[in-house]
Amino acid sequence: MPERFFSLSTDDRKEALEVAASQSGRPAYLLEKDAWVVWTLGAMFDSPFAKDLIFKGGTSLSKVYHVIDRFSEDIDVTYDIRAIAHDLVKDAGADALPATKSQARKWRDTIDDRLATWIEVEVSPYIEQRLSDEMIDAHTRVERDSLYIDYRTNVSGYGYIPTWIKIEFGGRSTGEPTEELAIACDAAEFLPGVLFPTAVPRVMRAERTAWEKMTAIHVFCLQGDIREQRARHWSDIIRLDAAGLIDAAIRDRSTARRVADHKSRFFVERDARGNPIDYHSAIHGALVLVPTGDILDLLHADYAKMVESRLFLRDAEPFEDVIARCADIQARANAIGVFESSAGPTRQPEGTGSRPRRAQTGC
């Protein structure tokens, strides 16, 4: 009978990872961290509070949709606002949005406090108990809206990638549209004699994640704020584009408006000159995905760190090609956004139309 990966001795686990690394061409430390990512997702979506969670972000694009070709390590999870703040949103409509920005501030403060308490009182003890039950040498720590799982390793190569799992929680959205899909560890196909973790999370649809990422890039560009480990957003959207999901997203005007409405209430930002950033203009022809000047140089340096750390699963595109493709996405998105503004909103049912066929999960 296959033995569970996390039940192996330290030496056997290291040997197993080295075998998988030699067969896959991927570093052993990334295969190990991937196993931790899947274990964490399995634990979270097998928990008493799983029904109110939505997995989203870059790691969902990698592990669920298989459309990005870089290693993604952080886990982004939404705790459905209708669960954490039912008393606030019960009369707020399908998307549970506050009526005004001042009301949004009150909601945000309340939700953030409840979220931090929930992580400390419920999530952290639950994960600690799961680790103890499975006799896994790791421990949790909480930092406001994030839970960290610090684990031990004897595998070399960690540098750009830390030896912890970070679960970052949000509680201001319904996370919809969503679907439920299975995921597996990257090393599993190379080691059939080892039982690796699996998970079946409820995940935010890729079209919404695409708009979440494009509007985040829009803000970074207008603020001139390109910090370390942000180049991943630019690499992600060109992979989404290669899979046909950017075209699907920019035609999905309902999801575009849903993201703009949500961020306009809960993520109010200002540009480098102090002017409010208008998310609705971003979806209606003024989207900015290409930074300029010194900001572009900082982005290039961060991208080079990703390449050096072997985070890409295949040869990475030259940085200049990434920027050129982002410029093309920007032009296409803005063309449709301008057309919608001049012609009036188009109606397209969610989940229909030209959404591309999803890659198989391998489970």
Output the CA–CA distances (angstroms, integers) from residue 80 to 86, 152, 265, 357, in the order listed: 10, 32, 16, 27
pLDDT band at 229 (very low <50, low <70, confident <90, very high): low
221 phi and psi angles, rounded to 5 deg: -65, -45
Report the alpha-carbon distance of residue 146 to residue 76 in Å, rounded: 9
Torsion angles phi and psi, residue 19, rounded to 5: -65, -45
Q: What is the pLDDT of the chain when averaged over all its residues? A: 89
Q: With bands split at pLDDT 50, 70 and 90, how would you rate the model's confidence at 236? A: very high
Which residue's entry shows tokens 């971003």? 282
CA atoms within 13 A on the CB side of 274: 0
Mean pLDDT, range 43-69, rounded to an integer: 93
Q: What is the DSSP string of 208-223?
A: HHHHHHHHHHHHHHHH
Q: Which of 5-9, 22-26, 47-51, 347-351 is the least confident region?
A: 347-351
Residue 64, token pair as written in the block:
């669920």
Residue 254 has pLDDT above 50, yes or no: yes
User: Which pLDDT value is given to residue 343?
Assistant: 62
pLDDT greater than 80 at residue 69: no
Residue 73's φ and ψ, nearest 5 degrees, are -110, -35
**Is the pLDDT score of 151 beyond 70?**
yes
Say if residues 141 and 148 touch (Cβ distance below 8 Å).
yes
- Domain residue spans in the chain? 3-204, 206-343
Q: What is the reported pLDDT for 360?
A: 34
Round to whole Å and give the CA distance between 354 and 363: 25
Please state, for a pLDDT cut of 90, what percent of the chain lies above it: 74
Contacts of 100 (CB under 8 A, 6+ apart): none
Compute the CA torsion angle 108, 111, 113, 119 (nearest 10 deg): -140
186, 235 contact by CB (below 8 A)? no
For 265, other C-beta atoms within 10 Å of its C-beta total: 21
Mean pLDDT computed over 106-124:
96
Q: For residue 257, is pLDDT > 90?
A: yes
For residue 142, count CB atoms less than 10 angstroms from its CB and return exposed for 0-12, middle for 13-18, buried for 19 or more: middle
In this structure, what are the phi and psi dihedrals at residue 359, rounded to the nearest 5 degrees?
-65, 150
pLDDT score at 196 = 97
Q: Rounded to whole angstroms, how far apart are CA atoms 167 and 146?
A: 6
Higher per-residue pLDDT: 344 or 291: 291
| Mean pLDDT along residues 251-273 | 94
Q: Map residue 266 onto helix, strand or coil.
A: helix
Question: What single string gives the DSSP state of each residue in 61-80?
Answer: HHHTS----B----EEEEE-
Q: Is the pLDDT of residue 161 over 70?
A: yes
Any idea which residue has 């995905």 for tokens?
289
Q: 81 pairs with which residues across the strands?
A: none
Q: Is the pLDDT confidence value at 247 over 90?
A: yes
Question: For 318-356, what is each residue's pLDDT tens digit?
Answer: 999 999 999 999 999 999 988 776 665 444 333 333 343
Question: What pTM does this model have?
Answer: 0.82
What is the dihedral angle through the alpha carbons of 108, 112, 115, 119, rounded to the nearest 10 degrees? Answer: 160
pLDDT at 350: 37
State how far the Cα of 7 lies from the Cα of 304, in Å rounded to an integer: 37
